[in-house]
């Protein structure tokens, strides 16, 4: 089965030769979604605002792929500080529903920008599965 690139508008990843997502074999593989707004800037206001924007971006990429948050089977969340990990329970409750996706959470020393505090990548079923 061929690989199908998923594009969103705007696509902040295009200049870096990255795909927002790739569809393959009934799955959607979403690149790490950070807190980049439509203006290309990182959401101001700390972790809570960045996490909201990252989940909005994840939702947008999934919809562009013909999938959705209800089809996510696995997420990997990269955090600059595990001190923010407790806030993810409420975020999961708001953005996902049972059965909740499998998840790995990793604290990293930095992300693509010094201001970035969170990045979310995901694997989901596509709309045909």
Q: Looking at residue 55, what DSSP letter applies? A: H
CA-atom Rg of the chain in angstroms: 14
Q: At 116, which CATH number?
A: 3.30.1330.40
Spatial separation of the C-alpha atoms in residues 44 and 50, rounded to whole Å: 7
pLDDT at 88: 92
Nearest to 34 by CA among 65, 79, 72: 79
Spatial separation of the C-alpha atoms in residues 125 and 85, rounded to whole Å: 26
pLDDT at 37: 87
Spatial separation of the C-alpha atoms in residues 12 and 85, rounded to whole Å: 26
Domain coverage including residue 8: 4-125
Single pTM value for the model: 0.93
Q: Looking at residue 12, what DSSP letter applies? A: T
**What is the domain count for the chain?**
1
Q: What's the CA angle centered on 100, arms 27 and 109, to 5 degrees?
A: 80
Place of tokens 């599965």: 129
Spatial separation of the C-alpha atoms in residues 52 and 3, rounded to whole Å: 29
Per-position pLDDT tens, the chain of length 129: 789 999 888 787 788 888 899 999 999 999 999 999 888 889 888 999 999 999 999 999 999 999 999 999 999 999 999 999 999 999 999 999 999 999 999 999 999 888 999 999 999 999 765
CA 111 remoteness from chain centre: 14
């Amino acid at each position: 089965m061929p690989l199908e690139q998923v594009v969103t508008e705007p696509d902040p990843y295009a200049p870096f030769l990255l795909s927002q997502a790739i569809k393959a074999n009934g799955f959607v593989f979403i690149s790490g979604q950070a807190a980049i707004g439509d203006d290309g800037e990182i959401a101001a206001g700390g972790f809570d605002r960045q996490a909201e924007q990252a989940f909005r971006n994840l939702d947008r990429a999934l919809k562009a792929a013909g999938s959705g948050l209800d089809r996510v089977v696995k997420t990997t969340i990269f955090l600059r500080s595990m001190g923010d990990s407790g806030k993810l329970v409420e975020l999961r409750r708001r953005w996902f529903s049972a059965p909740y996706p499998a998840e790995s959470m990793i604290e990293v020393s930095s992300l693509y920008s010094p201001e970035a505090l969170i990045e979310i990548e995901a694997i989901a079923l596509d709309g045909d599965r």
